[in-house]
Structure 1
Amino acid sequence: MFAMTVLVSEVFIVLFASLVAHGLRLADLGLIWGVGGAAMLACAVCAGLLRHRAGYVLGSVVQVLLLAAGFLLPMMFVIGVIFGVLWVASVQLGGRIDVERKQRYAAELEHFRAQSA
């Protein structure tokens, strides 16, 4: 859930960054919207794939590509670093949260079974 939140937030941040780059004419408009649109689409697709391991792998690739987009649009370096850190934190903490949630569910189920027996 945490990783999905990062990716969905990233869609909006990339949209806003693309709008700023467009307004400031930081690069060719086709390049700005091509890179921005591809990044937004990739984030949305990865968010949908997070039920599978491939979603996390592709999400990591997207983070690297967004950082690399800084060579075309310099402000993407900042966005790439920020969301890269958030991505790593979400994968690590999200995994821990999922394990704890499963343990809690198992404990509650065991408690319920003990009470009903």
Structure 2
Amino acid sequence: MSSKDRPAPGDRIAPKKSALVQFTSLTLQLEAFCVAFAAVALYGLRGSLYEKGPISLSDPTAIWIGGGVLFVALLVLSRLTSRPVGVAGGTLAQVLVIATGLVLPMMYLVAAVFVIMWAASLRIGARVDRERREYDAAHPETAPNV
């Protein structure tokens, strides 16, 4: 990095994207792809002896529509995490992903991991944002332009 790329003392820096938005968005995006892979696994396992979940899906159309709708919903919600509706929708999506365990029991484990990631994203993201605001309030000369 050359010296002209670095800010001079007293220069204001550009505002950073919210850590809460970044963490929750990434969690939902990763979860969307896990749901897509689960749909592929369920499609491959249909009609097998393994398919012993409480709900049996042997119709490929139902598998692809259900998996596709949840995949798209998670991706759309990942873009809305900067709004309260996105965070609430993401929390509701965690319940829906847990419910996929009724069809593919291994999804209970995957969903548990994502619920923990979601809770950590909310908690740590909010803490990082709060600490950034406190730092900016204590150092107004370097606070980002709003």
Both proteins in one fold, TM over 0.5: yes
Aligned 8 A contact 2:101 2:108 in 1 = yes
Considering Cα pairs closer than 8 Å and 6+ residues apart, tell me whether 1 or 2 has the greater RCO: 2
What are structure 1's unaligned runs of at least 5 residues? none
Q: What count of residue pairs does the alignment treat as equivalent?
A: 112
* Aligned CA distance change for structure 1 residues 62 and 112 (closer, same or farther; 3 Å): closer
For 1:32-54, what per-residue CA distance to the aligned partner results, in whole angstroms no more than 9, with x for missing partners?
22221121111111111111111
**Which residue of structure 1 aligns with residue 94 of structure 2?**
63
2:40 to 15, 19, 43: 19
Aligned 8 A contact 1:47 1:55 in 2 = yes
For 1:4-59, what per-residue CA distance to the aligned partner results, in whole angstroms no more than 9, with x for missing partners?
11001111111112112212224322232222112111111111111111111000
Structure (1/2) with the larger helix percentage: 1
Determine the C-alpha separation between the residues in 1 that align with 2:137 and 2:34. 38
Q: Please give the root-mean-square deviation of Cα atoms over the aligned residues, in Å.
A: 1.7
Calculate the TM-score normalised by the size of structure 1: 0.85
Q: Does 1:3 align with 2:38?
A: no
Determine the C-alpha separation between the residues in 1 that align with 2:118 and 2:131. 20
2:76 to 16, 26, 45: 45
Determine the C-alpha separation between the residues in 1 that align with 2:142 and 2:83. 31
What are structure 2's unaligned runs of at least 5 residues? 1-21, 52-56
Structure 1 residue runs of 4 or more that deviate by more than 4 Å after TM superposition:
none
Taking only the aligned residue pairs, the percentage that are identical comes to 35
